[in-house]
């Protein structure tokens, strides 16, 4: 459209993208940005009424770019922009790019109102900017009034206007909208911007997801409609988490969660699959329960964000394979048995109403792809969020739950697996274990000399050896040990020599401290005497060893597939990762050796991935392609697995060295103790058989 | 895929398409046909199980094509084809093209099982062959069983198979199907053809309409599914007509009709619009009524054709604009007043269930575009059927009802209009008029010498002057005059000199025959004395004149737009056209002068157009593009209209010559008679004012 750029035309640089180009004097900034592919929102299509296209001129001499940028190099505000400023207000320095023409060289800042608040989205993670390219676009147009001589229908003239002003071709229309179009076009709003004579001003909500599919008009509003929302949702087995976000600005209006009501059908995934197998209506009941919970949660975030649920036009969902299937009404039975066949693994699109999601009637719904029968769309979301395939360094991404999902790779190759860690990390199957809740011990330290412990309890900032601790915990009591503290206490017991590298509590230490207590053939460590009495038994240590060995063995197999002996960075996704201390996780040998500074918890990365796919449809194509390329490893079928698992039972590992950890943490000298409690040489073979037996009885 | 053709390769000619090409020895006939774009159906994908790909070898020396074709030039039947012949039977000379290889030069006949039975489809019209390219395709594939090492979902492996065997890319899936896929894939039928080891045989129903949209899997069946149906339906104000047709063979399984139950809300279109305006629930009630009637009619044709309604996968609908809108749930009020704005004019696609049509859950529904506010999708269907835009000759296509739709054009240009003819042609507003039913007079002749009439009555083949007539009509009686007879009696009155070219019954003739009877200031013609007494009054003649003048004026305006003074061919669509005699229509000046051999009734051309769009999706694109090009003329807004209308009041016309008619029919000498009944000169001006008044009082 523009004439070819001339070397004498002004040079315009857009920040933060850094894209630049020459444009003839008089070119609107908005047009210049678009021709370079710089994303600037606009709803009104250059009528200076929506205010979405704001930019800022950066003033000064940008020697590096050879640009002297100044306010003189942009046209002064015209009548329309001044009207907008008067009516709606315009912050100092802000200009409407649709109404500002290029007069000379410029550096233009496109404000990133899309910075996602770190506290809301992800704990202990950095802010992140998601480049916006939502599937939903609001397009204000002025439609010709009907003309007997050109008897094109209302909808058809709307399409003509949308093609002329916005370039939309081959638009389809959401069928529910067809009977409503007539009336919407004929509705005049009192606060409507000045319309051209004989024109009907409306805002079309256009949805375009797949590039090879035709775009859809999914809703239509009289006059200027200036806001559209979407939801990003992670359906977990225990918790459903949701963000409500503006599709125009990227602003998060609300984030919230609710417990998954399917828990009443079964605590863990496999018991829910069993419920479906045992009850003819089980699948239907669970599908209904999760959809109702999602609809309830939508109500909750809408209330928090003061948003009408009918202003939600797009939805992105992630979840593990069983949640994914139950949400879609698919029988998950096949996922409970080999070969763990997914009914569908690719990304899916729906009309939201087709699966009973109560938002705008024309809203669309997108589900990220599943990676494998045990590595779901949630893992795909986390993978999109952390992007191992975008990096040169070898990244390990783990999401620890009853099942640990493991993704390992870099831009050359990504492999994935799942490991059945069991519920030990969540405090289940531990004699004094409990879920993270007020009263639960969450941090533990053991003095290597005296073997005396100190601990902290959820609900108080005080350590147990600090004055006022007992008063502080009087209300909640000290009721048990939660997952993060179990990691710590076992690691501290190892660091202080109470347990050997093979995980045996050393009975010989009983002479050194009264906290080492004999129970028949084995010993326990007394963490807190009182009501209840909290101990760490030999069986507790074994449960943690089995869980961490399962996880580590999965990781190790993936490392073998990749041909690497170490990883560069580690990302812990999920709630568990947010609470554990990477140092102790590594001391236990839960994760491979790595620079501790490179081990990070990333919170609900699955939800962040869903949010990315919501705000930018390119991320949908990105993760679809990435998942296609990910190689899936079924760890249980690998001949090495057993041997690697046995080595991984030791702390941190029987074979693998932890040089980086050793340089940062003083590891105890190697010693072995037989389960009877006397230090010496325990044969790995005997122990391994016991471990396997223990593992079998657990499953 | 094939190597480039070599001049020494065998030459294969396909009939009736005439497409030809050279193919290496050993190429399957099916592959050769497809590579040339010759349409040969196949469901099983070359496994010799579906039998859809049958062809015949033409034997002999085809000198014109330089081909000697013989059965030796095709491979003998192999084991698979012999199995098919044994199990399913194969007619003499027929071969399965998937299993027959080219050995030498061949002329191959692709049997056109798609010939549409003329009696079923269109009255008094020639057979026609519709080239098949249905939107629905049945595709048998064998899907890999799940594999833990390649954890692609069931649906995703199905897609892989459909892409590999059938070339489908980017397939979407109908959402209702997703929860069912697992089970369908795992169902083994006892009569299933031999499957490859470790494969699941299923037939996918793939629907692809728009070229720019992605194809959809709309249903899935275990094993081989070998039949798919569609319906083509014309929703008329009075009657709903439907064809049930095999999408694979083009065979019409059943055709039927039912009355439109909306009649209880109003006899004609405008009274139904009024009903919507007056009753808050009127639109909803009429939408529900027509959809229920369509569903009932589907039940009827399915019963007749012995077809399960869930085997209907595609539907095409046409209808006038008000029926079109009411069927879709759109308020038609705007169509009742200027500017007669259509809510939507373009072609539309739905899932059939979205508008409550009870067929297969994944079935699609297509509506042809509307041409203008008074020229609907039914006129588009007739236009597709008769195809003025496909011809060099100037074709006039008229569908006469309460409103006449007129299309005029050739491949260079097509114009369209509607004319408010009123219900006179249907026997309404005529003193002795009635609907066509047993007992109604349908044919009339008047002896020019004696002025004595003879007539025929629906239900008897005898003329009234033949022996036994009175006995023959004793049961029904002679109850009135139907539309076709009104045309004839007025034309015969003109030809016999009873009425002047201005339509005045000549009182002077009363002396010549007692059948000319005075009623106050005007005269009548006594057609039958008895009970009831049937006369043609001056008002009756006036009503016919007004109706035919309205139609002719519309036609004439379109001829003016086209710059022609005659038309080459005339097509009468609709029931009216099937019963009237073109000669009398032309004597009346209802249609312009034309060679009588070129005037044809084409029955329900709208329904035929719907059928074409059902059997070949290229016809959808064809009519969409044609309608886009059609110029719509609003006759009432044309300054000429009044003058043309006045001239058209005369028989056959005041100004326009009818040379072709005059060469085939002896027209009476011109004479004018004033309404008082005395032959002389009646000024056109005075008469025209009366006509206008009469017209106003009617509307």
Q: State yes or no: pLDDT of A158 exceeds 90.
A: yes
Q: Give the pLDDT mean for A210-215.
A: 77
Check if the beta carbon of residue B129 is closer than 8 Å to that of residue B112: yes
Q: What is the pLDDT of residue A431?
A: 92
Contacting residues of A for B154, CB less than 8 Å apart: 341-344
CB contact under 8 Å between B212 and A210, yes or no, is no
Q: Give the C-alpha separation, B111 to B118, whole Å.
A: 18
Q: Give the C-alpha separation, B439 to A637, whole Å.
A: 86
Note the pLDDT tens digit of each residue in B52-111.
889 999 999 999 999 999 999 999 999 999 999 998 888 888 999 999 999 999 999 988
Check if the beta carbon of residue A580 is closer than 8 Å to that of residue A596: no
Q: Which of B144, B160, B171, B179 to mutate to test the interface with A (most CBs of A within 10 A)?
A: B179
CB contact under 8 Å between A345 and B637, yes or no, is no
CB contact under 8 Å between A354 and B213, yes or no, is no
Check if the beta carbon of residue B584 is closer than 8 Å to that of residue B491: yes
What Å distances lie between residue B456 and B426, B453, B479, B481, CA to CA? 18, 10, 12, 10
Residue A352's closest chain B neighbor by CA? B175
CB contact under 8 Å between B346 and A148, yes or no, is no
Q: State yes or no: pLDDT of A131 exceeds 60.
A: yes
Q: What is the pLDDT of residue A3?
A: 58
Contacting residues of A for B330, CB less than 8 Å apart: 178-179, 182
Contacting residues of B for A329, CB less than 8 Å apart: 178-179
Q: Give the pLDDT mean for A42-49.
A: 87
Query: From the list A146, A159, A331, which residue is nearest B339 (CB)?
Result: A146
Q: State yes or no: pLDDT of A689 exceeds 60.
A: no
Q: How confident is the model at residue A678 (pLDDT cuts 50, 70, 90)?
A: low
Q: Which of A172, A182, A380, A625 to mutate to test the interface with B (most CBs of B within 10 A)?
A: A182
Contacting residues of B for A277, CB less than 8 Å apart: none
Q: State yes or no: pLDDT of A675 exceeds 70.
A: no
CB contact under 8 Å between B345 and A155, yes or no, is yes
Q: What is the pLDDT of residue A487?
A: 93
Low-confidence ranges of chain B (pLDDT < 50): 1, 114-126, 680-699
Check if the beta carbon of residue A485 is closer than 8 Å to that of residue A442: yes
What Å distances lie between residue A441 and A589, B278, B543, CA to CA? 22, 73, 98
Q: What is the pLDDT of residue A14?
A: 93
Q: What is the pLDDT of residue A696?
A: 43
Helix/strand/coil percent split, chain B, to 5: 35, 25, 40
Q: State yes or no: pLDDT of A125 exceeds 90.
A: no
CB contact under 8 Å between A179 and B155, yes or no, is no
Q: State yes or no: pLDDT of A268 exceeds 70.
A: yes
The alpha carbon of residue A109 and the mean position of all alpha carbons in its chain are separated, in whole angstroms, by: 29
Q: Which of B131, B140, B50, B132 is nearest to B97 (CA)?
A: B50
Query: From the list B342, B354, B637, which residue is nearest A154 (CB)?
Result: B342
Query: From the list B146, B172, B334, which residue is nearest A182 (CB)?
Result: B334
Question: Measured between CA atoms, how close is B330 to chain A, in angstroms?
Answer: 4
Report the complex ipTM: 0.87
Q: How confident is the model at residue A695 (pLDDT cuts 50, 70, 90)?
A: very low
CB contact under 8 Å between A343 and B210, yes or no, is no
CATH of domain A136-222: 3.10.20.880
Residue A353's closest chain B neighbor by CA? B175
CB contact under 8 Å between A328 and B155, yes or no, is no
Q: What is the pLDDT of residue A638?
A: 87
Q: State yes or no: pLDDT of A1 exceeds 70.
A: no
Q: Which of B175, B177, B363, B377 to mutate to test the interface with A (most CBs of A within 10 A)?
A: B175
What Å distances lie between residue A84 and A76, A202, B151, CA to CA? 14, 19, 55
Q: For B445-494, give the DSSP string.
A: EE-TTT--EEEEETT---BTTSTTHHHHTTTT---EE-HHHHHHHHHHHH
Question: Measured between CA atoms, how close is A591 to chain B, in angstroms?
Answer: 24
CATH topology of domain B386-422+543-698: Nucleotidyltransferase; domain 5 (3.30.420)
Are the folds of B11-109 and B233-382 the same? no
Q: Give the C-alpha separation, A692 to A694, whole Å.
A: 5
Q: How confident is the model at residue A49 (pLDDT cuts 50, 70, 90)?
A: confident
CB contact under 8 Å between A634 and B178, yes or no, is no
CB contact under 8 Å between A348 and B181, yes or no, is no
Check if the beta carbon of residue A432 is closer than 8 Å to that of residue A535: yes
Residue B155's closest chain A neighbor by CA? A344
* CATH class of residue range A233-367: alpha beta
Query: From the list A172, A343, A346, which residue is nearest B182 (CB)?
Result: A343
Q: Give the C-alpha separation, B199 to A290, whole Å.
A: 34
CATH architecture of B11-109: Roll (3.10)
Contacts across the A-B interface (CB distance below 8 Å): 158
Query: From the list B146, B155, B183, which residue is nearest A339 (CB)?
Result: B146
Contacting residues of B for A354, CB less than 8 Å apart: 175-176
- Domain-wise residue ranges, chain B: 11-109, 136-222, 233-382, 386-422+543-698, 432-536
Residue B152's closest chain A neighbor by CA? A345
Average pLDDT across chain A, whole number: 89
Q: Which of A326, A343, A373, A418 to mutate to test the interface with B (most CBs of B within 10 A)?
A: A343
Q: Give the C-alpha separation, A108 to A28, whole Å.
A: 12
Give the range among A379-393, A433-447, A676-690, B608-622 with minimum mean pLDDT.
A676-690
The fourth-level CATH superfamily of domain B233-382 is: Domain of unknown function (DUF4445) (3.30.420.480)
């Amino acid at each position: 459209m523009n004439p070819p750029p001339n070397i004498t035309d002004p040079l315009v640089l857009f920040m933060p993208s850094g894209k630049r180009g020459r444009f003839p004097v008089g070119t609107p900034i908005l047009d210049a940005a678009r021709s370079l592919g710089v994303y600037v929102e606009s709803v009104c299509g250059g009528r200076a009424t929506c205010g979405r296209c704001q930019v800022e001129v950066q003033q000064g001499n940008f020697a590096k770019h050879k640009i002297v940028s100044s306010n003189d190099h942009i046209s002064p505000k015209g009548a329309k922009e001044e009207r907008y400023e008067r009516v709606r207000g315009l912050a100092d320095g802000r200009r409407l790019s649709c109404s500002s023409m290029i007069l000379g060289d410029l550096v233009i800042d496109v404000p990133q109102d899309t910075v996602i608040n770190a506290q809301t989205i992800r704990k202990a993670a950095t802010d992140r900017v998601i480049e916006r390219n939502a599937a939903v676009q609001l397009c204000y147009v002025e439609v010709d009034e009907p003309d007997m001589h050109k008897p094109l229908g209302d909808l058809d003239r709307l399409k003509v206007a949308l093609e002329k002003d916005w370039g939309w071709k081959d638009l389809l229309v959401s069928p529910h909208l067809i009977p409503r179009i007539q009336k919407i076009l004929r509705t005049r709003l009192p606060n409507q911007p000045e319309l051209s004579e004989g024109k009907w001003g409306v805002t079309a909500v256009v949805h375009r997801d797949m590039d090879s599919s035709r775009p859809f008009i999914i809703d239509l509003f009289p006059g200027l409609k200036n806001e559209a929302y979407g939801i990003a949702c992670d359906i977990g087995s225990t918790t459903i988490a949701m963000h409500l976000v503006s599709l125009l600005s990227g602003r998060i209006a609300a984030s919230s969660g609710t417990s998954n009501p399917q828990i009443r059908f079964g605590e863990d995934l496999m018991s829910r699959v069993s419920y479906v197998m045992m009850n003819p209506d089980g699948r239907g009941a669970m599908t209904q329960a999760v959809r109702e919970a999602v609809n309830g949660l939508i109500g909750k975030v809408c209330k928090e964000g003061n948003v009408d649920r009918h202003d939600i036009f797009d939805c992105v969902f992630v979840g593990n394979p069983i949640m994914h299937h139950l949400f879609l009404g698919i029988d998950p039975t096949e996922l409970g048995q080999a070969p763990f066949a997914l009914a569908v693994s690719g990304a899916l699109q729906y009309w939201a109403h087709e699966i009973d999601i109560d938002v705008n009637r024309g809203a669309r719904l997108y589900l990220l792809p599943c990676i494998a029968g045990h590595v779901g769309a949630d893992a795909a979301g986390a993978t999109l969020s952390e992007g191992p395939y975008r990096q040169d360094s070898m990244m390990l991404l783990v999401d620890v739950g009853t099942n640990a999902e493991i993704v390992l790779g870099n831009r050359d190759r990504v492999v994935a697996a799942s490991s059945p860690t069991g519920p030990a990390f969540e405090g289940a199957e531990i004699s004094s274990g409990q879920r993270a809740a007020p009263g639960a011990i969450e941090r533990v330290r053991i003095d290597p000399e005296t073997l005396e412990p100190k601990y902290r309890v959820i609900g108080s900032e005080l350590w147990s050896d600090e004055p006022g601790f007992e008063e502080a915990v009087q209300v909640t009591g000290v009721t048990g040990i939660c997952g993060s503290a179990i990691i710590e206490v076992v690691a501290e017991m190892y660091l202080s020599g109470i347990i050997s590298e093979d995980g045996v509590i050393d009975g010989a230490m009983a002479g050194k401290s009264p906290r080492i207590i004999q129970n028949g053939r084995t010993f326990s460590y007394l963490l807190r005497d009182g009501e209840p009495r909290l101990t760490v038994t030999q069986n507790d240590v074994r449960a943690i060893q089995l869980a961490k060995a399962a996880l580590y063995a999965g990781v190790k197999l993936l490392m073998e597939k990749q041909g690497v002996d170490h990883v560069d960075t580690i990302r812990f996704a999920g709630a568990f990762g947010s609470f554990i201390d990477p140092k102790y996780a590594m001391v236990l040998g839960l994760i491979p050796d790595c620079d501790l500074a490179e081990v990070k918890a990333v919170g609900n990365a699955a939800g962040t991935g869903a949010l990315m796919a919501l705000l930018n449809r390119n991320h949908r194509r990105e993760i679809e392609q990435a998942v296609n390329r990910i190689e899936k490893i079924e760890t249980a079928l690998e001949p090495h697995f057993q041997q690697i698992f046995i080595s991984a039972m030791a702390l941190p590992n029987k074979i693998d060295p932890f040089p980086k950890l050793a340089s940062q943490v003083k590891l105890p000298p190697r010693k072995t103790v037989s389960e009877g409690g006397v230090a010496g040489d325990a044969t790995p073979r005997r122990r391994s058989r016991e471990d396997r037996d223990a593992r079998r009885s657990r499953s």
